[in-house]
């Protein structure tokens, strides 16, 4: 029996519709959430991400503005920009698109973002709030994974969850969110011993590694739920045939674009597990939906009282 496909596009659309409705309900108050995006230089991937973030804001009624300092920007100049955004009342969220150029001290810049406006959830204050189960802003991708699991009625409490990957933006917050939801969590990384046997214990397996198709059949137990966070590219004909034998649609896309997307989970895994997120169309769409949701949440946490007063008046 093949796995249930956990449709990230559908769940992301539901979340965006909920955010848009809340914003519509605020319209009488004259208050609306605002997001400032900082995009340094001309990294093509970053430009695409930022474009889709700004487009999502427009569709949902979130005010957005884009700041585009040149590639040569200094740490000091970026700090000044962040400070000015911190001080503006109508800006609820500040997103500094990564990566930053090598001359910039990225950690210093991210640390300067007001934790109350840190819609990426990267600030140590928000990481601490998450680990102590206090209200705060949570990193978008792992927050999106929780939405997929919860809205798909995957049992989390008491489940054995294994997270492969310990990055600050995906693996660690993912493990914390699952722990907070009462799963028994194991975090794995490149130094973990006998990874397949650890992964086979998982009722919920989250792969956030960055290695094309690394999680094969031997890593999963029958019936498990597998969440594939990875976004990698297949760029050779040999890999295309290895990962997607007989897949005409992907072969055509490969011929046209020179590459196709693949997650960290080998496509063969869909044949043995209970439920799985596809790539593309799984976790990816949730990341932007959660950014929108975080911007609204930041507004409510920071100006909630004022919004309520305005609505009542
Ligand atoms: P990252 O910072 O490079 O972290 C990768 C993690 O995987 C590290 O903890 C690393 O271990 C571990 N790892 C690497 N090779 C391994 C191996 N052979 N066995 C076990 N663990 C291994 O990456 P990231 O930012 O977390 O992203 C992970 C993946 O998710 C990437 O493909 C990225 O493109 C994707 N992603 C997708 C979205 C989305 O919206 N869908 C968002 C963010 C990221 P060590 O710590 O020991 O080095």
On whether the pTM is more than 0.75, the answer is: yes
Contact by Cβ (8 Å): 288, 12: yes
238 belongs to the catalytic site: no
User: What distance in Å separates the CA atoms of residue 206 and residue 94, rounded to the nearest whole number?
Assistant: 28
Q: In this predicted structure, what is the pLDDT of residue 69?
A: 98
Q: What is the mean pLDDT of the chain?
A: 95
Testing ligand 1's pocket by substitution, the residue of 209, 219, 233 carrying the most ligand atoms inside 8 A of its CB is 209
Q: For residue 232, how far is its CA from the centre of ligand 1 (angstroms)?
A: 10
pLDDT digits (tens, 9 = 90+) for 189-236: 999 999 999 999 999 999 999 999 999 999 999 999 999 999 999 999
Distance CA 77, CA 31 (A): 30
Catalytic residue among 92, 114, 118, 120: 120
Mean pLDDT confidence for 31-51: 95
Written in H, E and C, the secondary structure of 233-292 is EECCHHHHHHHCCCCHHHHHHHHHHCCEEECCECHHHHHCCCEECCCCCCCHHHHHHHHH
Ligand 1 centre distance from Cα of residue 182 (Å): 24
Nearest CA to ligand 1 atom 4: 167
| CA quadruple 138, 145, 289, 22: dihedral sign | negative
Which whole-number Å values give the CA distances from 46 to 37, 40, 58, 241, 293, in the listed order?
Answer: 11, 9, 18, 30, 20
Average of pLDDT values for 69-78? 98
Domains of the chain, first to last? 30-114 (3.40.50.10860), 140-286 (3.40.50.720)
Q: Which of 235, 236, 245, 229 is nearest to 283 (CA)?
A: 229
Residue 311 has pLDDT above 60, yes or no: no
Quote the pLDDT of residue 313.
Answer: 45
289 close to ligand 1 (CB < 6 Angstrom): no
Is 256 an annotated catalytic residue? no
252 is known as an active-site residue: no
């Amino acid at each position: 029996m093949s796995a249930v496909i956990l449709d990230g596009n559908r769940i992301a659309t539901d979340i965006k519709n909920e955010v848009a409705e809340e914003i519509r309900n605020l319209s009488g108050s004259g208050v609306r959430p605002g997001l400032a995006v900082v995009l340094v230089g001309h990294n093509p991937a970053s430009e695409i991400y930022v474009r889709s973030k700004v487009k999502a804001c427009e569709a949902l009624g979130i005010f957005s503005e884009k700041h585009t300092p040149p590639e040569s920007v200094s740490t000091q100049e970026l700090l000044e920009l962040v400070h000015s955004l911190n001080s503006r009342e109508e800006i609820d969220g500040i997103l500094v698109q990564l990566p930053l150029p090598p001359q910039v001290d990225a950690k210093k810049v991210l640390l300067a973002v007001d934790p109350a406006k840190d819609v990426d959830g990267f600030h140590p204050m928000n990481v601490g709030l998450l680990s102590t189960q206090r209200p705060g802003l949570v990193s978008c991708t792992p927050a999106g994974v929780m939405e997929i699991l919860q809205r798909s009625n995957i049992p989390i409490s008491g489940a054995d969850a294994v997270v492969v990957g310990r990055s600050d933006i995906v693996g660690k917050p993912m493990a914390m969110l699952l722990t907070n939801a009462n799963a028994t969590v194991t975090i794995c990384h490149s130094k973990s011993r006998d990874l397949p046997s650890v992964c086979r214990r998982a009722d919920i397996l989250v792969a956030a590694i960055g290695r094309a198709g690394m999680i094969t059949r031997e890593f999963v137990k029958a019936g498990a739920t597998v969440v594939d966070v990875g976004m990698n590219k297949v760029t050779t004909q040999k890999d295309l045939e290895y990962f997607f034998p007989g897949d005409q649609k992907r072969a055509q896309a490969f011929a046209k674009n020179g590459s196709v997307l693949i997650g960290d989970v080998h496509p063969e895994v869909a044949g043995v597990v209970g439920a799985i997120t596809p790539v593309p169309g799984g976790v990816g769409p949730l990341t932007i939906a959660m950014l929108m949701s975080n911007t609204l949440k930041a507004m409510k946490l920071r100006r909630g009282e004022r919004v309520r007063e305005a609505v009542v008046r």
